[in-house]
A and B are shown apart, each in its own frame.
Chain A
Amino acid sequence: NAGVMQNPRHLVRRRGQEARLRCSPMKGHSHVYWYRQLPEEGLKFMVYLQKENIIDESGMPKERFSAEFPKEGPSILRIQQVVRGDSAAYFCASSPTSSEQYFGPGTRLTVT
């Protein structure tokens, strides 16, 4: 059973460009969470999704950030018009029950 997959692992974007981060949950998991981790800090919740539904986006900035988990394919976190402050590691986690969460390897976004 493959673990949570994320791609790309590293992403470099210039200020003003768009970043698209992808997450494929573990087989059989229907709950997906996105977290952001700044250097030497803990993980901060951004958004929780189930298939075709955003359940809780209370941790996500109102502007420039969006997320989706379509019926087919991976979950996508999209950041428009990136700024330097968006540089961070973005982790997704999946869960079979909305309790125990298993994390992917993360995407390290660098904005130049």
Chain B
Amino acid sequence: GENVEQHPSTLSVQEGDSAVIKCTYSDSASNYFPWYKQELGKRPQLIIDIRSNVGEKKDQRIAVTLNKTAKHFSLHITETQPEDSAVYFCAASIADSGYALNFGKGTSLLVTP
């Protein structure tokens, strides 16, 4: 089955700096890669996703890049703000097939003012 590895497990940055979280996956059939943000005690929220037919996607301060050959994808947050502090999860799946999301173990991001 699919195995998703996520690094780092914790990340601390100063407000205004960039943050990068990296994930690798094992199943070359995976073609859908969402990222979720989870604040303490809250639901995971879908913040951005990418499919394997594109290499990069941006939404304001958030971007995701995908390298299919190397089977890794990354989340980039620019100009970080304290409200970006949360746990971020990457996931991999096969789109439109009913396959479940396989999640990484999460990265706890702390943005200090």
Contacts and interface: CB of A to CB of B under 8 A. Distances in A.
Given A33-B100, A99-B95, A101-B101, A43 B46 contact: no
How big is the B interface, by class? Answer: 20 to 34
A25 interface: no
Interface stretch (A11-19, A67-75, A76-84, A103-111): A103-111
B79 to A, nearest CB: 26
A99 B44 contact: no
B1 to A, nearest CB: 9
Contact of B98 (A41, A43, A48, A93): A48
Interface string B46-58: 1001000000000
Nearest to A101: B101
Interface of B: 6, 32, 34, 36, 42-46, 49, 89, 93, 95-106
Give the top 8 A-B pairs by smallest Cβ distance, nearest first. A45-B100, A42-B103, A103-B43, A98-B98, A99-B95, A42-B105, A103-B44, A43-B103
